[in-house]
């Protein structure tokens, strides 16, 4: 469906976001790893641990897609042999996560790429993005896909554009506000009013 120019009412308890779909056709140059940081592949992470990490990274950006899944549905994704889950670890705990989705080999994507609040602004993101792009290219990805939305961190889109991605298309997405349905607490995403 194509929307005409104008304003559209968003029902109470719902959110609207503009999603930008991005593609990267050439990985950026490798970067040295920040000291004390490790990217670790997870193959059997318990769903509760996954949700805790997902919430830690995405709470203020209203990441909810995985929080709304039951255990069986979540496990079918994160334990799929064509989905790779990586945790960014440090001596002081987990700092982020990356989830790579190769289920469509012609259109592999970075399904999730996020840092914990205490990892932002420390130079970790550029190294992580370069590392992830190289890993995907080494597995045969000619084009890497990723999307972000207007509810994401304000610097997210600029970061992706600076690190080898270009915008391909946009869409508007409406979905239940996770705070209104109890998936996230009412204090999540304080920059987005709860209506």
Regarding predicted confidence, which is higher, 48 or 2? 48
The pLDDT of residue 1 is above 80? no
Whether the CB-CB separation of 107 and 143 falls below 8 Å is answered with yes
- At residue 122, the pLDDT reads 86
- At residue 131, the pLDDT reads 96
Distance CA 163, CA 152 (A): 17
- At residue 44, the pLDDT reads 87
* Per-residue confidence band for 92, with pLDDT thresholds at 50, 70 and 90: confident
- At residue 56, the pLDDT reads 93
Among 26, 31, 32, 21, which Cα is nearest to 137's?
Answer: 26
Q: Please give the average per-residue pLDDT across 61-79, as a whole number.
A: 93
The pLDDT of residue 117 is above 80? yes
The pLDDT of residue 2 is above 90? no
| pLDDT above 90 coverage of the chain, percent | 85
- Two tokens, residue 140: 């045969």
- The full DSSP string for the chain is -PPPSS--PPPTTEEEEEEEEEEESSPPPP-PPPTTEEEEEESS--HHHHHHHHHHHHGGGT--TTTTS-HHHHHHHHTSTTEEEEEEEETTEEEEEEEEE-SSTTS-EEEEEEE-GGGTTSSHHHHHHHHHHHHHHHTT-SSEEEEEETTS-TTHHHHHHHTTEEEEEEEEEEEE-TTTTTSS-TTSSTTS---
The pLDDT of residue 6 is above 80? yes
Q: Please give the average per-residue pLDDT across 180-186, as a whole number.
A: 94
pTM of the entire predicted model: 0.92
Distance CA 17, CA 156 (A): 14
């Amino acid at each position: 469906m194509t929307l005409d120019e104008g304003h559209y009412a968003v029902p109470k308890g719902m959110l609207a976001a503009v999603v930008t779909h991005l593609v990267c056709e050439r990985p950026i140059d490798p970067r040295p790893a920040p000291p004390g940081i490790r990217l670790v592949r997870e193959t059997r992470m318990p769903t509760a641990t996954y949700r805790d990490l997902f919430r830690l990274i995405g709470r203020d950006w209203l990441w909810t897609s995985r929080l709304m899944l039951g255990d069986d549905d979540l496990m079918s994704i994160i334990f799929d042999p064509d989905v790779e889950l990586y945790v960014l670890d440090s001596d002081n705990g987990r700092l982020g996560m990356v989830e790579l989705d190769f289920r469509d080999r012609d259109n592999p994507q970075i399904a999730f790429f996020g840092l914990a609040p205490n990892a932002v602004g420390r130079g970790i993101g550029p190294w992580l993005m370069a590392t992830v792009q190289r890993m995907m290219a080494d597995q045969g990805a000619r084009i890497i896909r990723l999307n972000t939305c207007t509810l994401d961190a304000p610097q997210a889109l600029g970061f992706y554009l600076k690190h080898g991605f270009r915008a391909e298309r946009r869409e508007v997405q409406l979905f239940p506000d996770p705070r209104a349905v109890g998936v996230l607490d009412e204090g999540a995403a304080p920059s987005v009013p709860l209506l």
